[in-house]
Amino acid sequence: MKAFSIFIRVPITLLLLLLLLESSSCTADSSVVNPCCYYPCQHAGVCVRFGTASFKCDCTRTGYYGDNCTIPEFWTRIRLMLKPSPSAAHFILTHFQWFWSLVNNSFLRDTFMRLVLTIRSNLIPSPPTYNTKYGYLSWESYYNLSYYTRLLPPVPEDCPLPMGAKGKPVLPDVKELVERFFKRQKFRPDPQGTNLMFAFMAQHFTHQFFKTNLEVQGGFTKGLGHGVDASNIYGEDLVRQHQLRLHKDGKLKYQLVNGEMYPPAVSEVPVHMVYPENIPADKRLAIGQELFGILPGLSMYATIWLREHNRVCDILKAEHPTWDDEQLFQTTRLIIIGEIINIIIEEYVQHLSGYMLDLKFDPSLLFGERFQYSNRIALEFCQLYHWHPLMPDSILIEGEEIPYSQFLYNTSLLMHYGVERLVDAFSRQPAGQIGGGRNSHQVVLKVAEMVITESRAARVQPFNEYRKRFNLKPYTSFDELTDDSEIARGLEELYGDIDALEFYPGTMLEKARADAIFGESMVEMGAPFSLKGLLGNPICSPEYWKPSTFGGETGFNIIKKSTLKKLVCLNTKWCPYVDFHVPRNEEEAKPRKPSTEL
């Protein structure tokens, strides 16, 4: 009996011990930090949590191996030895004019352009990976187009701090952040010579795919398309498109004012437009994008593209008299999309980059490369593209200084001055420098607040994690981020750690490159998103990129030979000074004579 008693007591003791250990284990588990909150996986490795306190980095096809994907494979070592750093590559591309003059006039231009396109585009995953809801690969992330995609997964929800495992327990007050570091103290013009013609193009161009749904938190878009689809001209859906169409000869509806073509009024074409209630219907212009009534610069571009669409329709009808309204419209839309992409790459991106290599829009350069002709707009791309420091303190038109209070929603300015005079004025007025902070006008500060608030709701990873994702060296201090000691000390006070700095403030407050419009991160992060989106358009695919798609060689050449100057001057009575750069010399600054030669 004694032996049996001991036998009984021992299992009971062991059971109690096990229960005690299990209880203490559960208690310990509740305080264990998710290891992925430390962002342990480098070089695009994927952090997968196992149990409560362990993780594994998936280094598949990163070119690295090891527990944290930090050990380069053999060919990665070779590539790293041969490949210049992003800063070195930028220096080479923006210097040595004699060398680039030789390249631009030889077959080497195609070779270098192909390298630029492939290296940049390969940084953007296709098909898409994450979204705000799913920090892991899922069918919903791929299939649900109502989400923006994500380059990096969200900060895990169970992290001890807002930005992961570093920084302060509470993020800075949004209003304080914007007032201290974004608000303009004195207008700082862009040293690259960027003008308002560029600034309004940036807004007009990007609003065809940046359409954040502000009614739903978490990185949703209202747009049906995720790329250059000219929906800012034709409308987001088929109903709006048909309301804007003339349904004759492929053309869009218009009104004539003093014999010149302008978008129709809402009183004639009752599409939904966002205007203040005090603006009468006959003063509200009906445009593809419902927000474009806010600035005369956007209405000006809408007018130019309206005229260009109808001009191209006339050209196609002359060559194809048997085509019906639908085929004329659809083919013209493809040509307009091609013109947009060509002008953006060869002039807009060219200006931004500062490269001495002449950028070239030639989709055939990628036909022999591994490339997917699809695109999804990323939340990070949408956020970094809020370039509101471009806007000056007031608008200057023919010696008249117009404050924002008289500029916003003022459609009469477009009719009063005409397209030519607005283009000339906007091409001559400097825009603001984007990088470096403290250069945003008071009227646009609310937009910066909105972006930061949206970023927090979407749990966007810290700025340094994106630096690493784009092969940039993470900053080690706020003094390294900015050359303004007051901004550096203020950010350190509010964030505590450079690794906790938020994504959007990082891109905007980073010190600008020498004589440049913004800093290294904006260029190195923005360019891959931009070029992938532009060249990923269906018209750039081998199936589409041929004369028959565009009604023959005439339509094809309209795309290939398009320029900003042609876009304006073929649709105006006289040719103003038109460029994305303020006049470089006295000759450019002289008043332009009427001209039809292009």
Catalytic residues: 207, 385
**Residue closest to 153 by CA, chosen among 45, 50, 261:** 45
Percentage helix, strand, coil for the chain under 3-state DSSP, each rounded to 5: 50, 10, 45
DSSP assigned state of 563: -
CB atoms within 10 A of CB 137: 14
Per the DSSP assignment, residues forming a β-bridge with 261 are 256
Q: Is there a contact between 301 and 204 (Cβ–Cβ < 8 Å)?
A: yes
Per the DSSP assignment, residues forming a β-bridge with 440 are 183
Please list, residue by residue across 213-248, b when 16 or more beta carbons sit within 10 angstroms of its beta carbon and e when fewer do: eeeeebbbbebebbbbbbbbbbbbeeebbeebbeee
Q: Is there a contact between 183 and 446 (Cβ–Cβ < 8 Å)?
A: no
CA-based end-to-end distance of the chain: 112
Give a three-class secondary structure readout of 472-505: CCCCCCHHHHCCCHHHHHHHHHHHCCHHHCCHHH
DSSP H/E element including 353: helix 350-353
In sign, the C-alpha dihedral spanning 415, 416, 420, 421 is negative
In sign, the C-alpha dihedral spanning 539, 543, 548, 552 is positive
Write the CB contacts of 86 (distance below 8 Å, at least 6 apart in sequence). Answer: 470, 471, 472, 520, 524
Instruction: Count H helices and E strands in the chain, helices first.
Output: 25, 8
Q: Is there a contact between 219 and 459 (Cβ–Cβ < 8 Å)?
A: no
Q: Is there a contact between 126 and 372 (Cβ–Cβ < 8 Å)?
A: yes
CB atoms within 10 A of CB 186: 7
